[in-house]
Structure 1
Amino acid sequence: MKRQLPLRKRVALAYGLVGMVLSLCFGVATGFIVADYEVFMLEAMLEGQSRHFIEELERNPDAELPRSPAFSVYREAEAPEGLRNLPEGVFDLEDQKDMHVAAYGPPGQRVVLMIDIGRVERLEEYLLQLFLLILAVGVVVSAWLGWVLSGRTVAPVLQLADAVDALPVTPVQTRLAETMSRDEIGRLAGAIDRYQARLADADASERAFFADASHELRTPIAVIQGAVEVMRDDTEASAAQRARLARMERGLAELGGLLEALLLSARGLPPQRDSIHLAEDCRRALQRLDIPGLDAPRRIRLEGEGPTALAAPQRWVDGILLVLFQRLLVSSAQTEWLGQLDADGLLLRPAQATAAGSGSGARSDLGLGLVFVERLCRALGWRLERGEGDAGLQVRLRIPPGA
């Protein structure tokens, strides 16, 4: 795609071109006017002088006529060869630069005038130089005015662009039109305000839908959970039945964690913050996942303390850790994990003994399904990073300083 000049430079260039065109028109018009005025004045002056000398000769036939290099008057009979029998009018002398000849009067009384208009020609050359100067100054001044005026014209657009860039990721209603003038820029700002309002309404509708859906799904899940607990307490259940019940319980726990994350995401980030000790919350989440088939406290071993004074909603942190641990444990069969708590947050990777043992370590291509967790992390300013280390898949819950 061809790269265009910035709008301000294009406007300044357009102003410069307009100034050049106007200066050219002015210069050409002035040149034509000066040329026509020169001919008109020369004819009027020579005709007037001719009438004067004809009247002078009528009064005094022997009157002495003026003769000089710049202006000479002759009786037609005394005129130089080639200037006799001329029709009335003004003529150029081709063999003498800047010399003009005029012949006026009736036959027998006609006089011939010769005049040097070299000074007038030099004046025309001076006017040409002045015209070129005016052309250059006109272009420069026009371009400068275009630059200044375009800067003032584009300034509201840049202000509006900065205001739009400063908008948060989540849709919010704006009042940009109130800060703009009531012109095309204000209309554009109003269109952005209306679009933001539609986005905010759609986001609110989406949040309400997810919140209602998660609430409505909690009831059947609770019913199923109660039925599973009753069946698990049945002393006559066989070992195969208990294994199936344990599997159902793990699935219900996972589904409950996902619904909790969905509900939190739908409600949005609350304004209140709690003091979070990341290591304690990790241990508490592992204890909640101490159910048959997961054995979270045994399969995830924690080291270190990590951040001890985070400011975040407690329910959000619990939801993130529960779903993260669940997805790791469910997706990686019998893999044992090492959770390293440090100043950057939490790093989860397969334990070295497991990775080097039977070869059942976690693969890097596992689909963990952490969409809800990533959404909650983004809202908190945290980052969930997945990659491959020496022992296979590793997940980093990165908590920037001050988040």
Structure 2
Amino acid sequence: MPIEQAGPAPRATQRTLARELVLAYLIVAVLVGALLSLVSMWTVNRLETHLQQIDMGMALDRVRGEYLAGKDVGRGSRFFHGEPGSETFPAWLRRVEPGFTRIQHDDRDWHIMADDRDGVRYMLLRDYTAFEQRRVRSHWLTVVCVGASLFIAFLLGGAVTRRLVRPLVGLAEQVIKRPALPPQTQIAQAYPGNEIGRLAAAFDATYNQLEMALQRERLFTADVSHELRTPLTVISSSCELLLDDPELTPIQQQKLQRVHTASLDIHQQLAAYLMLARDSSDASGFSRSTIADAVEKELAHWSSRAQRLGLRLFAQYDTHYDTQRDTQRDTQRDKTADSSAAPAFPAALVRIALSNLIRNALQHASSGTQIVIRASASSFDVTDDGPGVAADIAPHVFAPFVTGGAARIDNLGLGLSLVQRICDHQGWRVTLDSQPGRGARFHIDLAPPATL
């Protein structure tokens, strides 16, 4: 069985691991840089305000002391004193509260320190326009520096990330191309002994074990095909020769014909199993039959076992299809049958699917259960009135090795899985309708889905 090829490589427009890492690095860098810038500017502003408040407080005390000592302070437009809110103060300063304040007036930035003593308000002004302009420029310079730092960090982070991710990209490409390489190839030799190297070594070990297992499976299926088909061919050819013997009694001919038919059926079933094992899509080599013919043969095969188990097994046919079958049988007797009267399907695959559904019903049914095979031209189902499928098992009933609680010891849980694989291979649809205590109905629709 050929090793399944890996899917196509992601397109260049899709996000790669390197892009994801660079994007994550950029987002973290922007958030951290913005946070640090905001905290820094807030801290600097608070510190400047506190220092200016201390400086202007000391300056106001000095000017007020000079004024009270009768000295000329020489600050007619910068130093004011009088009753709070009086006309001694300019109109735009009358509502200034005691303490440190910043005011913008006449396109100038003023820092004001006001203090009340003995009912008199003293107010000192300083023009900080040039200082504020320099501070704004310094803030913008900080933003530009942070942006430049982020850009440089982005470039460095991208380069470092690509350097770190490059081995992963190479490993991904080699994993995609690995099926085309010779068996037991070791791709881990091209990588150092770090995490990537260990990942490559783990892939080598797993892939090479899988390769060996697939090789053993190919050899096994080839051996089975050769070793079993050869004796089956001998049996079939011997039966054909013996059937030409005129000395055989009718009973002997009947029994020999049964052996011949059984060998042909086994040959077809073996071909079906090998086709599924090899995942081959060619089913043209199988003999074809209608669903009714397959139902009649399986009904004859399983009826005796059903009787021994105390079960009733019988078939029902769709009315329209039943009429077609009768017409087809009449025309076959006249050797003028119309091959299009009923569709034909690979006989071995239909019988394997039907046989496993019947076997499943027999294994899980209780005494007195009725098992009905209903067939139409392009579908059939197997229905029983037994205990049904448990609610917790129903969603997984077609999975391998899933068995019901009432299953016998010879049930490995592979029959329904085989039915599902055959249906998937042929494009058929199999469904289950069951309720605990009310039986189960397995339906297979062999008609291709309608196309719009």
- Name the TM-score, length of structure 2 as normaliser: 0.42
